[in-house]
């Protein structure tokens, strides 16, 4: 388990340029899922050295629920951009659940997680007028799961969570990411989920954002994938192939993130 540092924040709503959102909420900073490709690692540069490396610590803004209470925000809100609102520590601290309880139910809210713990809060989701809850899925299992996202719930659990959200009348979406050549079976992911997923986001791996450690591991363990990513022509062809798969699936697509 990661070291948990409890802090008090001055503000909980932060302006963002993320697609489809005006504000972000990050009640946690850092993440116990310890995904090798995580783009949020850059935040560690501004944290004390004794925190340790990414994945070893989590900041928890323990006053976040109070900062949310009685606040009215214009625009859409995304939870969370540099953490996971349903990482393991949430079972104990319940900051996400308390925030949902206190948040203005008229707000346009989108939540993204890698955890099936999200279905715990379906009772609160139902109180919002405009809410969508997404699960990141990518099909990693076995060695790939151990290498790239060792401490996150299984993809099977996430897919079941998407289905449970639909069954309870909660708008859901699948965030298919990171799309890596040779490691992601896009057709299989879509076929297994399109019967109960309202919409999709697709995100191709950003090697630079994922960092040097990710690049080194991918190059060593999956040289064919690395070969495609470092060759602009091969990667462009791969993207075109994926776009064709998405188009032919006839699903609702919110966006394709290419970085």
> Is the per-residue pLDDT at 1 higher than 80?
no
- Which pLDDT does position 64 carry in this prediction? 98
Q: What percent of the chain has pLDDT over 70?
A: 100
Interval 85-138: pLDDT, tens: 999 999 999 999 999 999 999 999 999 999 999 999 999 999 999 999 999 999
Closest CA to 226 of 235, 139, 35: 235
Closest CA to 145 of 121, 114, 191: 114
What does residue 58 show for φ and ψ, rounded to 5 degrees?
-145, 125
pLDDT, mean of residues 16-43: 93
Q: How far apart are CA 113 and CA 25, in angstroms?
A: 13
Closest CA to 181 of 147, 231, 133: 231
Q: What is the radius of gyration, based on Cα positions, of the chain?
A: 18
Q: How far apart are CA 209 and CA 72, in angstroms?
A: 33
Q: How far apart are CA 183 and CA 144, in angstroms?
A: 8
Max CA distance (Å), the chain: 53
pLDDT, mean of residues 231-235: 97
Do residues 251 and 194 make contact, with C-beta atoms less than 8 angstroms apart?
A: yes
Q: State the distance between the two ends of the chain, measured CA to CA, in whole angstroms.
A: 32
- Which pLDDT does position 20 carry in this prediction? 87
Do residues 131 and 173 make contact, with C-beta atoms less than 8 angstroms apart?
A: no
Facing residues of 257 across strands?
A: 203
Cα 3 to Cα 55, 57, 64, 81, 88: the distances in Å are 9, 5, 19, 20, 12
> Is the per-residue pLDDT at 55 higher than 90?
no
List strand residue ranges (DSSP E) for the chain, in order.
3-7, 13-15, 23-25, 28-29, 57-61, 76-79, 108-113, 130-137, 171-179, 199-204, 253-257
- Which pLDDT does position 257 carry in this prediction? 94
Q: What percent of the chain has pLDDT over 90?
A: 90
Task: Domains for the chain: give ranges and CATH numbers.
Answer: 3-257 (3.20.20.70)
Interval 150-180: pLDDT, tens: 999 999 999 999 999 999 999 999 999 999 9
The whole-chain average pLDDT of the chain stands at 95
> Is the per-residue pLDDT at 15 higher than 80?
yes
Closest CA to 180 of 134, 147, 154, 151: 147
- Which pLDDT does position 122 carry in this prediction? 98
- Which pLDDT does position 52 carry in this prediction? 86
Lookup: tokens for 135: 């699960």
- Which pLDDT does position 47 carry in this prediction? 87
Other C-beta atoms lying within 10 Å of the C-beta of residue 6 = 11
Note the pTM of the prediction, 2 decimals.
0.95
pLDDT, mean of residues 192-220: 96
- Which pLDDT does position 119 carry in this prediction? 98
């Amino acid at each position: 388990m990661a070291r948990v540092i409890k802090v008090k924040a001055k503000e909980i709503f932060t302006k963002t340029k993320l697609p489809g959102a005006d504000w972000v909420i990050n009640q946690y900073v850092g993440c116990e899922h310890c995904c090798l490709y995580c783009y949020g690692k850059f935040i560690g540069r501004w944290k004390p050295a004794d925190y340790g490396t990414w994945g070893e610590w989590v900041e928890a803004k323990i006053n976040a629920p109070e900062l949310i209470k009685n606040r009215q925000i214009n625009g859409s809100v995304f939870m969370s951009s540099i953490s996971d609102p349903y990482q393991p520590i949430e079972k104990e601290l319940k900051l996400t659940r308390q925030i949902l309880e206190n948040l203005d139910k008229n707000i346009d809210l989108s939540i993204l997680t890698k955890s099936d713990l999200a279905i715990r809060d379906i009772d609160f989701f139902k109180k919002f007028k405009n809410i969508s809850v997404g699960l990141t899925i990518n099909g990693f299992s076995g060695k790939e799961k151990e290498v790239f996202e060792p401490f996150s719930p299984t993809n099977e659990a996430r897919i079941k969570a998407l289905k449970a959200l639909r069954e309870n009348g909660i708008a859901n979406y699948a965030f298919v990411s990171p799309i890596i050549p040779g490691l992601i079976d896009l057709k299989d992911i879509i076929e297994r989920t399109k019967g109960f997923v309202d919409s999709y986001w697709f995100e191709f791996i950003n090697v630079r954002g994922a960092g040097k450690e990710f690049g080194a591991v991918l190059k060593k363990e999956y040289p064919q994938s690395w070969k495609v990513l470092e060759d602009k022509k091969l990667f462009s062809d791969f993207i075109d192939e994926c776009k064709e798969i998405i188009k032919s699936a006839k699903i609702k697509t919110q966006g394709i993130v290419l970085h």
